Amino acid sequence: MKTRKIERTRLVPHTVDGVTEMVLDRETIEVPAPPRDWDHLVRTAVTIGAIVLVTASLAWTTASIGDLLSAVTLAVVAYAAAVAFDASWILCMAVEWLLRYDPERAQVAQRAGRWALAVSMGAVFAHGYLLADTWVIGAVGAVVSALAKGGWSMAMRVHARPLDDRTQQWVAKRRAAVDGQLAMIPIRRELQRGQAMVEAEQHSLTLAGPDRGSADPDQSGQSTDDPDPDPQPAPSGPMTIKDAVRTALDSGIREPNRVLAYVRKVADANAKPDTVSRYIRLAG
């Protein structure tokens, strides 16, 4: 039986001059070596082979189509554009891999990848046919991309973990719930920004109204007991301290004490001044 050596450490008491401390004791032992995982080695070899095929196909297609396009444009531009032919179906296969647990969305990437491969093979065929005036060279050159895509498809099948129908439905529902929560993050931010703009506009119109500076001390909608003539922005629901600070700043409130008062009113009655000041600096 094959064995392998490993080093183990443990804490042991060690006393010097009557003082005991816990120190590390290192010990090298032999343990049975696990059998070689041939499946993992073959899977790794398949993946490396697929990467090599894709790289060779990308180089061949770029060289062929770049040579074809260089007849009508600059060589640098021609070869740069030629990269897009194989890169397009490679990109589609990468998307297909990321969506391997969402078959409906992955089908779009599969169809797009096939069309992109067909276009790439057609361009390589045209280059070979025009260069040698024979369809055999064009066909052989075009098959390189097909072989590369086939090799990568086999590698994806090796790594795939198919789900049964019920598990697939469970994953779809869970993904939909999480995606909905993620989608609400920018939506809430957009609504808060819009609400802040509306409140800021109302605030500016109130200050610029025709009754500003009137000699009548009893103005409509303004309490004589409130020494602060500037209205506070209306709270739009439960807020975090950060959201409340941002709403206050967007509404034209700049004084730290007034921002703190607004935060304690709509978000957290125990908000600390240091926390509010930090958010004010970040927002500024």
Helix (H), strand (E) at residue 137: helix 135-159
Q: Is the pLDDT of residue 242 over 50?
A: yes
Domain residue extents for the chain:
3-32, 38-159, 174-204+232-284
Percent of all residues in the chain with a pLDDT value above 70, rounded to a whole number = 88
What is the pLDDT, as a whole number, of residue 112? 92
Q: Is the pLDDT of residue 102 over 80?
A: yes
What is the pLDDT, as a whole number, of residue 251? 78
Both tokens assigned to 207: 């200050």
Smallest Cα–Cα separation from 121: which of 96, 139, 136?
139
Percent of all residues in the chain with a pLDDT value above 90, rounded to a whole number = 19
Over the stretch 181-190, which tens digit does the pLDDT of each residue have?
A: 998 999 999 9
pTM: 0.56
Higher-pLDDT residue of 66 and 228 is 66
Tell me how far CA of residue 99 lies from CA of 48, 90, 110, 267, in angstroms: 21, 14, 10, 40
Mean pLDDT to the nearest integer, 81-95: 91
237: exposed, middle or buried (C-beta count within 10 Å: 0-12, 13-18, 19+)? exposed
Higher-pLDDT residue of 125 and 134 is 125
143-152, 187-196, 231-240, range with the lowest pLDDT: 231-240
Higher-pLDDT residue of 1 and 267 is 267
263: exposed, middle or buried (C-beta count within 10 Å: 0-12, 13-18, 19+)? buried
